[in-house]
Amino acid sequence: MIRVALVDDQALMRAGFRALLDAEDGIEVVGEAADGRAGLDLVRAAVPDVALIDVQMPVMTGIEATRRIAADPALAGVRVVILTNYGLDEYVFDALRAGASGFLLKDTEPADLLQAIEVVARGEALLSPAVTRTLIGEFVSRPPDRADAPGLECLTRREREVTALAARGLTNEEIAAHMVISPLTAKTHISRAMTKLGARDRAQLVVFAYESGLVTARGRAGT
C-alpha cells in the first residue's frame, strides 16, 4: 500500500486527486492540507510514502515545505512530488534543489499520475530523460550559488562518469551501453555515488552534477 499526502490550497484540486487515488487499489490517501505549514505538519504526523505538494501556497510555499521535509531525518523515506500549473517554470529547479523527487503538471493524465506515484514510491526520480534535458536547458544555465555543493573528491572516476551521464538524462541501460558495462553495474555505481553525496534519489544526483560543475549546462562533462 502506497500512502499519499495531498497538499494544495485549491479544494477542488485536492478533491479531484483524492477521488482518483481513492479509487485505485494499492494507494491510500492519508490526509489533506491547504497550505504549506499544515502540509508539513501532516507529513510529520502521517509520514506518507509520497507527498504531492503544490509549489505556490499561502503560509509556507511548497518549496520551503519540501526543504524542511528533506532536512528531517525522521522523514527520510518520504518522497515529495511538486505540483505545478506551468510545467518547467522558475520554481522547478529550486524545488529539486530543496529535495523534491520530481514534479507533475496539475493537468497530467490520471494514468500518468498513478504511474508517477508508483515510480517515486520505489525511490526513483520522476525525471524522464526528455524532462531532464529540458530542465537543463531552461534553468541550469543560470545555476545558484555553488558554495554549498559537496566536493567531487569522494567519488571514484567511474562514479563521476555515471553521475555525469545521469545528469545528461541517460537511463541506466543507456549509461551501461555508453560505458560498455552491465545495467546492474551502472545502477551500482549510481547508488554508491548517491550514498557518498547524501543524495536522496536520482534527481538530487542530477542537481549535484550541475551545482558542482561536474557537468555544464551545455552537457559537457567536467574534468
Q: Assign residue 181 the CATH number of its domain.
A: 1.10.10.10
Question: What is the average per-residue pLDDT within 77-94?
Answer: 76
φ, ψ for residue 168, nearest 5 deg: -80, -5
- The 10s digit of each residue's pLDDT in 162-201 is 988 887 778 888 899 999 999 899 989 988 988 888 777 7
Whether residue 120 sits in one domain with residue 57: yes
CA distance 32 to 13: 11
Question: Does residue 132 belong to any structural domain of this protein?
Answer: no
> In this structure, is residue 133 part of a structural domain?
no
Is the residue at 131 inside a domain? no
Residue 40 structural domain: 2-126
Q: Which triple of cell numbers denotes residue 191?
A: 547508488
Tell me which residue of 191, 28, 205 sits closest to 101, measured CA to CA: 205
Whether residues 170 and 68 share a domain: the answer is: no
Amino acid letter for position 27: I
| pLDDT-based confidence at residue 221 (cuts at 50, 70, 90) | very low
The domain that holds 71 is classified in CATH as 3.40.50.2300
